[in-house]
Amino acid sequence: MAPRENDEKAAKKEKSKQSQLRIRKPTRSETSTIISEFNLVKSKVSDKNLVTAEDLVKALGSKANVHDLKKKIKAIKTTTKILPKPLEKPAADRVKRKVGFENAKKTLNKWAGVVAHQRTAVSVKFPLKENSMQMEPSEIANRFVLKTDLEKKLEEIDPPKQPEPVTQDKFSLTLAEILEQRGEAAKLRAQQSYLASKARRTKKIKSKKYHRIARKAKTKQQIKEFEELKKKNPEAALEKLDLIDKARAHERMTLRHKSTGQWAKNKQIRAKYDSESRKVLAEQLAISRELTQKLKTDDSDEDDYVYENAQEDVPTKTSETDNPWNANSKPSESEVDAFIGQYRKYWDEQHKKLAEGAKDNEEQDNEDSEKESVDCVDVTQEFIETDNVEKESAYTNDVEKKTLETNDSAECVTDASSTKKGKKKKTKKQKEEIESKKSPKKLVKSVEETTKCSNSNKKKSLSKTDSAANESVQNEKSKTEKIQEKKTKNKKNKKKDGNSEAKSKDNSVEDLEKLGLKNQRALRPQIDKPMDESDDEKERDVDAIKTVINQVTTKRKIENPTLDQNKIIKPKIMKTMLPDDTDEEDVLDDIEDENEYVSNREDERRFTQAFRDTDLARDFRKEKAAEIKKNQPQDIDLTLPGWGSWGGPGIKVSRRKRRRFIFKAPKAAPRRDENKGDVVILEENAPKIRRHMVNDLPFPYNAVKDFEASIRAPIGREFVPEKTFTKLTLPHVKTKMGKIIEPMTEDALVKQVKCDLDAREKKPLAGAVEKKNAKNNNNKEGKKK
Amino acid sequence: MQWRYCSVFSGVLLTASGFSCAVCSHRSRTRIRRRDEGRKRDKIPVDPETLKKYEMGEGINLKKGIRNKVHRLRVHNKEKLLAPMAEEAARREILLTEDYGCLETDAGETTTQFKQRELVENVDLISASKCFNLNLDFGPYSMRYTRNGRHLVIGGKKGHVAAFDWVTKKLACEMNVMESVHDVCWLHIETMFAVAQKEWVYIYDNQGIELHCLKRMNQPTKLEFLPYHFLLAASSAVGGLSWLDVSIGEKITRMDTKLGRINVMTQNPYNALLCVGDSKGVVSMWSPNSHQPLAKMLVHKQAVSACAVHPHGTYMATSAPDRTLKIWDIRQLSGPVENAVLRSAAQHLSYSQRGLLAVGMGNVVEIFKDTHTNLKPYMRHKASWALSDLKFCPYEDVLGLTHTKGFSSVLVPGSAEANYDALETNPFQNKKQRKEAEVKALLDKIQPEFICLDPNAIAEIDVAALQHKLDSKKKLGYVKPRQIDFKPRKTKAKGKGGTAKVIKSKKALKLKAKRAAIQEMRDAKVLIDKKEKKKKPEKSYGVLDRFLEPKKK
């Protein structure tokens, strides 16, 4: 019983609800004088029985006098356009705001030029508008005009005309102004309506493609803005970055783009057979990946030795490659290695090809070059002569001799006869040889040749660069000796095992490197090309050799900087007057020229003999070395000997330990006295002057150099010329005493609008403009008073 | 081209190149006519060498340097003002009317051959009066001119001290201090001078009244006065150096150089460092701010016997008993730029304002010119007694010599600056001007802390500090509040002790410190990591833990 009753009740309720919800058709049941406008509105429910204007006219019948009325009504019906529904309030507001902002920006930007000018002007005078220089007698001044009695009497009879009081205009605005205002209002409306219609239009667009493009454009725009912000205002950018991060977090939290929804499930079912749906799904996943991509940060705390262990390394690698999150990340080190390895393989293959090709040419080349060297003997002789000219001092001669002695005589001959051209040929060829894996015999020979060449090069450079340096001579000697040793070593190697190809090759390469050929690699002629003996190639080779020479010389320069810095200047002999009380010995010591000076230094030697046990220079150098060492940061050694490995004397600390437990001190900044010879500049940690130095970069400078340049000319009579001083100290703002500084009016701007208006409506506005001018003048006068 | 030069440096080029005045005036007349024709007058070109003298280095890189448009324009305007500055200053050289003196020789003559007697015969009366001798009996003398070259103070080893205006020979004071005198030195004005006596340094006024006895400067050997810093520096026989600020009467620093007795000490006018030559052939440069020398140069293989610095602070001359004379570039701290061997060892050196170098050897003075380019003998003079000191007089072509038997003044044409800057040093200043100059100098006094190798350091940015500042600001966001080691002061008084109270105050202090740290971070506008990541307690599986994958570090 009860359920039934309930059912009935529910049904009733339902019915009554339905009846309430239905919008009733407006009806006019009773006649009344007041007709609600709402009842005339076109009903949504049904407009079948609606009375239209036409119906009413129809009722009038077809009379002639009604005809016009009919026509009119018809015309109205055809011409009227139904206004579109107004935009929703938020959208409309948005449009309004946008238009308002644009217009405000425009109006404000008008001032930008003026403001910038005022801010950058050397000096600004206030009040800005200079009034005319015309002197106008003020009221007070007028009071003091002396009048004769006659004048006074005349005034009594005929009082002078008072200036007419300023009459207020009937209208607050002139016609032009009103027109202008109306125009502006219309413009605003037009802008708004345009935007509104646009918004309506775009809102209706259903195209997915369109929206996708729009979204992409939007993100692009955002990225662009962010980049700009990064430059301009890093803090704001940081905030934005935070926002992005937050968005990413949201994305990670939600199940959007994760292919977990119903749609995705359906697609997944279809995916097996349908490539389209597979694509769509992949796209979805890609989107999610893109959105949840972590922004790149450098994790500096990851130590490299973590990856040392290969066992650990393998699983991490695999996991990394599998992980779709890392798909877009940077290529890992292993990848880079792999790439390099592949590249190397390719390079080797190329070489092999080349070697095969070159083998045929090799022997022929050899012969050719030999021939050439023979041809060049004439040139060499010339060259040697010039060399001799260059040898100015005895020291260099010594060098030459010594080096020659160390070399074999036969080698010496070849050495001397190797002209510039020939040498270059040889070195080039040697390179070729080394690269194309020749027989060991040939190879060693080539190495010898290179060393020879470098020897001669060095000699030349030596004779050119510094002739008188004793120590450098010694250096040179030792170097040549070293090279000799190396040569002999190579020879031994050869004897020991003929197949030590790779080894000797390595050695030769090392040799070359030591001779400064390593850096020259970039300058090598292209190997892939067949050997070309054209002039162009030769020139290039000449350049290459030159660079080698330079490198060698510069290297030596660096090695003993004291010599170059402290140029050893030949002492000048000054024939000064002798004092009276000098000993006879001194008088005898009347030196005439340098050689005598050198030989006649007996007494000096005697003098120094007394100080023999204290070599001052050596002591000073020691002191300097100690000072340098003291200021150099030391490595921190935390290794525990014997911990995790064998301990005891003569046991090396393992590489791993060294890497892990010895903290390398950062390289000390180069000392100021590094290349200065016998000079020590002691650098204080905290010199007192630092307290007084500027330790900040003031706005608006971005470079230390620029700020320092800005204070290069301090403002003061002592530092800059008087003329500049007066200009520099000119006050930025000048004001007149007692003058009120009015805010700037639009008169400061260039008036374009007015002119246009005048041109457009000259006739009717002529009067108005005049009127306005008059009004302005009046205002000015009023202000003056 | 040459006639244009004539109108700029009228004196200089006419004498040098031998142009007759008629030519010059004729040319200038033609120039005037040209102007009358109504053409635009060309500006007379400035000598590039002079221009270089006034240049202040390159300006600001406006394109990259300043981002803000308005500021860039402002800086641009200022740069426009500064651009013609060097040229303007160079043009004003026309106002330096005085010309430097020189010795011109005919063919076959050398400048060294002229004796003082010949010079005196040929110069004007006033100049001739500047060559004179004083015969005094109180042992080897030391001497010093004032900065304007007008006054002279001499001190004899046997206690004789005299101060006088040497041009007019008007004696200010003369006395015997009844002690050995080692050195004398003027202070910032000619009314005060310091005397290094046997035990201490004394300051006297120009009446000979003892003003101060500086017992802090004991056993003095040499004195130097740094005019811009108002510092009186003294070296001692035990190897000490001391600086005293005479404007406030305060000892600035006193230190032991560990060099032994200091016999050679001069100042470098460029950076106000004291150059001390020692027995190990090293010249070390000392500032009052550091207990170590700022730089050391090994100049000779023997003890340094004399040392002089060019007034521009560019070059330094040193000599040793091995009869060598070397010129060093002390701005670069390198050299020697010149190395000479003399016929006898030089004991005294002095640089003139225009870079002439006087070398005293026994009783002989040899004057060299072009010391750093090509050392050439210029003049020589033989005194009757062994020299004890020599100094060039500023703004006068005169070299003062002191010897065992007094003082003599010698003419050296072209030694001094011909044009003086009266705002800097005025040889003709009166009493009022002197007082004014003293006040101005005091207002412009440079603090002793500014003394360092490079005096322009003050116009530079402390880059290291700036870097550190930026780095620390970067780090500030991750800095924890300061740890406070709170150890209570144990008080036995009633109600003061108690653990609860200690803990309470500890908490309060910690909170305070934390707040301070937060505030600091907020001030620095550094984003703070609000949520600190909580470490997840690792799940433990007991013994089975060993089967877990090893965690990556």
- What pLDDT, in 10s, does the model give residues A266-291? 888 888 888 888 888 888 888 888 87
- pLDDT tens readout for residues B400-431: 999 999 999 999 999 999 999 888 899 999 99
Cα–Cα distances in angstroms (integers) from residue B51 to residues A165, B3, B92, B528, in the given order? 68, 19, 11, 56
The pLDDT assigned to B494 comes to 65
**What pLDDT, on a 0 to 100 scale, did the predictor assign at position A27?**
64
Rounded to the nearest 10 degrees, how much is the dihedral formed by the CA atoms of B426, B429, B435, B441?
0
Which whole number is the average pLDDT over A753-780? Answer: 44
For the segment A291-315, the average pLDDT, to the nearest whole number, is 47
Instruction: Quote the pLDDT of residue B44.
Output: 86
Average pLDDT over chain B, rounded to whole? Answer: 86
pLDDT for res A203: 85
CA distance to partner chain B, nearest, from residue A426 (Å): 43
Task: Provide the sign of the torsion angle of the four alpha carbons A482, A483, A484, A490, taken in this order.
Answer: positive
At A704-750, the pLDDT tens digits run 888 999 998 888 888 888 889 999 999 989 998 888 888 888 877 86
Least confident of A136-145, B41-50, B122-131, B414-423: A136-145
What number is the average pLDDT over the span B124-152?
Answer: 94
Query: Which has the closest alpha carbon to B443: A718, A721, A730, A692?
Result: A718
Phi then psi dihedrals of residue B47, to 5 deg: -65, 125
Q: Is the peptide bond before B336 cis (omega within 30 degrees of 0)?
A: yes
Res A334 pLDDT > 70: no
Type of residue found at B133: N
Q: From A587, which residue of chain B is nearest by alpha-carbon distance?
A: B343
Ramachandran assignment for A80, one of left (phi > 0), alpha (psi -120 to 50 degrees), beta (any other): beta
Most confident among A521-535, A611-625, A751-765 (mean pLDDT): A611-625
- Residues B503-532 have a mean pLDDT of 79
Residues of A in contact with B550 (CB under 8 A): 312
- Comparing A279-293, A684-698, B330-344, the range with the smallest average pLDDT is A279-293
Phi (first) and psi of residue A192, to 5 degrees: -65, -45
Among the listed residues A714, A637, A627, the one whose alpha carbon sits nearest the alpha carbon of residue A679: A627
The residue type at A673: D
What chain B residue is nearest to A309 in terms of C-alpha separation?
B552
Arithmetic mean of pLDDT, B517-544:
70
Token duo for residue A182: 């109306």
Chain B: give the shortest CA distance to residue A482, in Å.
Answer: 33
pLDDT of residue B542: 77
Candidates B342, B379, B530, partner chain A, best to mutate (most A CBs within 10 A): B342
Q: Mean pLDDT: which of A127-131, A281-285, A307-311 is highest?
A: A281-285
Q: CA distances (Å), B537 to each of B540, B547, B551, B553, in order? A: 9, 18, 14, 16
Q: What element of type H or E holds B215?
A: strand B210-218
Does pLDDT of B41 surpass 80?
no
Question: How confident is the model over B369-404, as pLDDT tens digits?
Answer: 998 889 999 999 999 999 999 999 999 999 999 999
Of A119, A315, A727, the CB nearest to B70: A119
Q: Which of A668, A763, A752 lies closest to A110, judged by CA?
A: A752
Q: Is the pLDDT of residue A472 over 70?
A: no
Nearest-by-CA chain B residue for A678: B298
Going through A405-445 in order, the beta strands assigned E by DSSP cover: none
pLDDT at residue number B519:
84
Q: Looking at residue B488, what is its pLDDT?
A: 61
Backbone angles phi, psi at B492, to 5 degrees: -85, -10
| Pairing status of strand B398-403 against strand B387-392 | antiparallel
Locate the chain B residue with the closest alpha carbon to A238: B527
B333 dihedral zone (left: phi>0; alpha: psi -120 to 50; beta): left
Answer whether A551's CB lies under 8 Å from A517's CB: no
A466 pLDDT higher than 60:
no
Question: What's the rounded mean pLDDT across residues B132-148?
Answer: 94
Contact B65 A706 (CB under 8 A): yes
Nearest to A565 by CA among B446, B335, B397: B335
- For B402, the enclosing helix (H) or strand (E) is strand B398-403
**Residue type (1 letter), A98:** K
- Nearest of A436, A656, A675 to residue A564 by alpha carbon: A675
**Cα–Cα distance, A548 to A540 (Å, whole number):** 13
Tell me which of B78, B115, B279, B323 to substitute to probe the interface with A (most A C-beta atoms closer than 10 Å): B323
Type of residue at B218: N
Q: Contacts of residue B390 in chain A, CB cutoff 8 Å?
A: none
**Which residues of chain A make contact with B56, given a CB cutoff of 8 A?**
712-713
- Which of B57, B59, B296 is opposite residue A680, by nearest beta carbon? B296
Kindly report the average pLDDT of chain A as a whole number: 67
At A529 the pLDDT is 40
pLDDT for position A155: 87
CB B240 within 8 A of CB B257: yes
Return the sign of the alpha-carbon dihedral for residues A650, A655, A661, A667.
positive
Interface test with B, best of A568, A574, A701 (most B CBs within 10 A): A574
Over residues B234-291, the pLDDT tens digits come to: 999 999 999 999 999 999 999 999 999 999 999 999 999 999 999 999 999 999 999 9
Q: Which of A569, A688, A699 has its CB closest to that of B339?
A: A569
Q: Residue A604's pLDDT band (boundaries 50, 70, 90)?
A: low
Question: What order of strands is seen across the sheet that includes strand B295-298?
Answer: A679-681, B295-298, B282-286, B273-277, B264-268
The Cβ of residue B155 has, within 10 Å, a number of other Cβ atoms equal to 31
Mutate to test the interface with B, among A562, A576, A587, A597 (most CBs of B within 10 A): A576
Per DSSP (E only), the strands in A545-699 are 572-573, 636-637, 662-663, 679-681
- Across A412-421, A507-516, A610-619, B24-33, the highest mean pLDDT is recorded for A610-619
Q: A571 vs B71: CB contact, 8 Å cut-off?
A: no
- The predicted pLDDT at position A468 comes to 40
Radius of gyration of chain A (CA): 50
Per-residue pLDDT, A74: 84
**Type of residue at A226:** F
- Which among A579, A620, A695 has CB closest to B462? A695
- Shortest Cα–Cα distance, A723 to chain B (Å): 9
Which chain B positions have a beta carbon within 8 Å of A677's beta carbon? 334
Residue A296 pLDDT > 60, yes or no? no
Over 70: is that where the pLDDT of A484 sits? no
Phi, psi torsion values for B365, nearest 5 degrees:
-115, 130
Strand B295-298 to strand B282-286: parallel, antiparallel, or no bridges (unpaired)?
Answer: antiparallel
Q: Are B214 and B225 in contact (CB under 8 A)?
A: no
Residue B141 scores a pLDDT above 90: yes
- Record: contact B457-A689, CB cut-off 8 A: yes
How high is the pLDDT of residue A486? 55
Mean pLDDT value of segment A15-34: 65
Q: Do A235 and B525 touch (CB under 8 A)?
A: yes
- Which residues of chain B are within 8 Å of residue A118 when distances are taken between CB atoms? none
3-state secondary structure of A732: coil
Pick from A162-166, B65-69, B254-258 the range whose average pLDDT is largest.
B254-258
Catalogue the E-assigned strands of A627-676: 636-637, 662-663
Query: In degrees rounded to 5, what are phi and psi of residue B457?
Result: -60, -30
Q: Poorest-confidence range of A496-510, B55-69, B80-94, B198-212? A: A496-510
Is residue A687's pLDDT more than 50?
yes
Report whether pLDDT(A701) > 60.
Answer: yes
Widest distance between CA atoms in chain A: 159
Q: What is the DSSP letter of B461?
A: B
Strand ranges (E), A627-695: 636-637, 662-663, 679-681
| Probe site for chain B from A231, A306, A575, A577 (most B CB atoms < 10 A) | A577
User: What is the per-residue pLDDT for B552?
Assistant: 54
Give me the residue label for tokens 């324009």: B73
- CA of A736 to nearest chain B CA: how many angstroms apart? 24
Name the residue of chain B whose CA is nearest to A115's CA.
Answer: B70
Q: How much is the average pLDDT of A144-157? A: 87
**Measured between alpha carbons, how far is A56 from B194 in angstroms, rounded to an integer?**
127
Q: Which residue has the higher pLDDT, B514 or A553?
A: B514
The pLDDT of residue A65 is: 80
Tell me the residue type at A133: M
Give the Cα separation of B141 and B153 in Å (integer): 10
- For chains A and B, CB pairs below 8 A equal 243
Q: Do A701 and B322 touch (CB under 8 A)?
A: no
Q: Phi and psi of B274, rounded to 5°?
A: -95, 125
